Amino acid sequence: MRIIGRFAPSPTGPLHFGSLVAALASWLDARRGGGRWLLRIEDLDRPRVMPGAEDAILRQLDELGLGWDGPILHQSERLAVYERSLQGIQAHTYACACTRRELEDSALAIDGSRIYPGTCRGGLDPGKTARALRVRTTNEQIRFADRVQGEIVQRVETEVGDFVLRRADGVIAYQLAVIVDDAAQGVTDVVRGADLLDSTARQIHLQRLLGLATPRYLHVPVATGAGGEKLSKQTGAGAAGPAELRSALRFLGHEVPADLSPREALDWALEYWDPRRIPRRRAAPAIS
């Protein structure tokens, strides 16, 4: 089986150290396996899209030497595809009229997480207007073997609840778009940050409903700041470039010889890439 990997940034700002780590791990994993590496721009949430961000991301990837294969896929151009997918699982979805306040008041708190209690599962109360669209989950135990984090087990119904597929503002939810796109692009290996690890069971649930293949998953630790917060554009994380390449490789457990240039370091990493070196943890302080 030929490996097909992908990197799917949101154009809300330039790549920071944390997104560099995810891009680098995905690129190395695909290229080391002799596979293809695809680029997808996740721009469904249009109000969050920053003008010029996509161009900045493409320049950064080019400067880093992380070339991609084929045309770039934009989620904003695939709305009709997502709607057809929703129609295909219509029997497993229902309209939800709950407001944000109602959700906050009624959500069940389990292990620190807020679980949707299925308020609208049986139909909308008289006078209520449909807002979001949710998928009906089951108490099936979903298991998958993450290539870094090990075996993950989750019962979506009791640990997450019926989750949103189309938001109240009409935007298709990430959980649906990502699995539809991965299937359309033939992605075999998803390499991304461990902040998305808990979303994976939801995505597998949708893959099964739609009859889509489940790719292999590899979740790398999330890079955090001095206060333990995830690095992000919102927390002021700066743009990353070739100078951060060595630090990103060290973060991924690969010690690069000190005398190598960034280009040589990337070549070295491609030769010696081994996911077994990646620390088995969900988060770790960024390396400067």
Ordered by start, the domain boundaries in the chain are 4-78+187-285, 82-166
The CATH homologous superfamily of the domain defined by 4-78+187-285: HUPs (3.40.50.620)
**Higher per-residue pLDDT: 238 or 184:** 184
- Tell which CATH architecture fits domain 82-166: Alpha-Beta Complex (3.90)
User: What residue type is 102 in one-letter code?
Assistant: E
- Which residue bears the tokens 């070339």? 67
- Which of 235, 251, 211 lies closest to 22 in space, CA to CA? 251
Q: Which pLDDT belongs to residue 288?
A: 79
What is the per-residue DSSP string for 40-73?
EE----GGGPPTTHHHHHHHHHHHHT----SPPE
Determine the average pLDDT of the residues in 231-252.
Answer: 84
Q: Which pLDDT belongs to residue 223?
A: 95
Determine the average pLDDT of the residues in 76-88.
Answer: 97
What is the per-residue DSSP string for 57-116?
HHHHHHHHT----SPPEEGGG-HHHHHHHHHHTGGGEEEE---HHHHHHH-EEETTEEE-
Q: Which pLDDT belongs to residue 232?
A: 73
> Bridge partners of 144?
152
pLDDT band at residue 235, thresholds of 50, 70 and 90?
low
Q: How far, in Å, CA of 36 to CA of 33, rounded?
A: 9
pLDDT band at residue 69, thresholds of 50, 70 and 90?
very high
pLDDT band at residue 97, thresholds of 50, 70 and 90?
very high
Q: Each residue of 255-284: pLDDT tens digit?
A: 999 999 999 999 999 999 999 999 999 999
Q: Which pLDDT belongs to residue 237?
A: 65
